[in-house]
Amino acid sequence: MRRLCRLLMRGMLVLLIVVLGFASPVVYVETMCREDAVSQVSTPLAERTRSATRTLMTYPEWHIVHAYDDYAEIISRRDPHDFGYWSAITGYWRIVCDLTRASAALGEVDGETRQMIHIIGVSFTFEMLLKAAYEESIGRLVTWVRGPEQSALDQLSARQAAAYAEFLQQVPWYRYDFRADAAALRAASQGTFRDRERAIALGLEHHARAAYAGLIAQAVEAVGQDELTLEMVVADLDPRILEAADGVRLLRMTEQGALVETPRYRKLTGILFDWAQAGARFVEIAGNDQIMFTAISQRSGQEGALADLPRQGYGDTRHLFLIPVGELGGALRNLEENGLQLEHVHDY
């Protein structure tokens, strides 16, 4: 009985240490990265508006998307143990802290948004640590047995990782068919030691993700899905050009410009870029006059950027810019001459 009590106490101590470890970045962000918010008063033209702080606070979720893309790029030529799992984790919490501070100038970040960022951050941290623990030990050993040449399932898993990263650009992760990827790995195995190990290890990972995705999908269904469109006011562009864009609806004309409804997420980035090249001037987006976008360059730092984040596997840098909505058109038109490539315009 005493031995059982000691084991129980040790188990509880380990569990407490683990919980504190995962909670520590959340506590740090909430206590050390919060600043007094500035109240924003405006009279938007759009009927449906969103919080201005969301343009910054959408990035943490995209940081995870970019991490998966970096991982896919790494394993397309090398092995999973070559990916910097720890830098992906610390990069997430570092940018959450920076953007939490910066968001104070746009208003108060609501509790639901903060909660969402912390939940996905803890989940991402847990996933990366588990994957690192396996790939840095058993996974690395199996690659040593395999030799320098990638196996069939090394190549297939790299393609699957790239497809998953692309999927996340527009569709929520929990809608991805993880079980199909697991089945594809089993079917493509050539029976080598590495292939068998990949089919088992990644198969378990995919099935675990699928189970978790089912729970998340049920939760989302219960509370309702986020809106897939937003409203904005665009000037200096023929309404026919606006309506020609896929998914765009002209709502009405105002003195400041055309009020239109557009898709959100990745589709919006393409629409805004095309309209900017056609000479558009953006007046407001979702009722806001500030917006963030990310761009890629070969430079390690960029003047005026909120943050400069190196991309694993690519050898270049992602830059975050927060600018007035009224300057977005010109900024998108001048990217190339400034040595920048547009990556994503972050809506709200």
**Three-state DSSP string of 266-301:** HHHHHHHHHHHHCCCEEEEECCECEEEEEEEECCCC
Q: Count CB atoms within 10 A of the CB of residue 124.
A: 20
Amino acid 21: pLDDT: 82
Determine the Cα–Cα distance for residues 53 and 31; give it in Å rounded to an integer. Answer: 18
Given a contact cutoff of 8 angstroms between Cβ atoms, the answer to whether 50 and 264 are in contact is no
Determine the Cα–Cα distance for residues 125 and 264; give it in Å rounded to an integer. Answer: 27
Determine the Cα–Cα distance for residues 22 and 17; give it in Å rounded to an integer. Answer: 9
Given a contact cutoff of 8 angstroms between Cβ atoms, the answer to whether 311 and 297 are in contact is no
Pairing of strands 281-285, 290-297: unpaired
Question: Which segments of the chain have a pLDDT < 50?
Answer: none
Amino acid 100: pLDDT: 97
- Reported as a single tens digit per residue, the pLDDT across 107-150 is 999 999 999 999 999 999 999 999 999 999 999 999 999 999 99
Amino acid 38: pLDDT: 85
Residue given tokens 């740090």 in the structure block? 28
Q: 314-347 burial, b for 16+ CB within 10 Å, e for fewer? A: eeebbbbbbeebeebbebbeebeeeebebbbbbb
Amino acid 170: pLDDT: 87
Q: Count CB atoms within 10 A of the CB of residue 235.
A: 16
Amino acid 47: pLDDT: 87
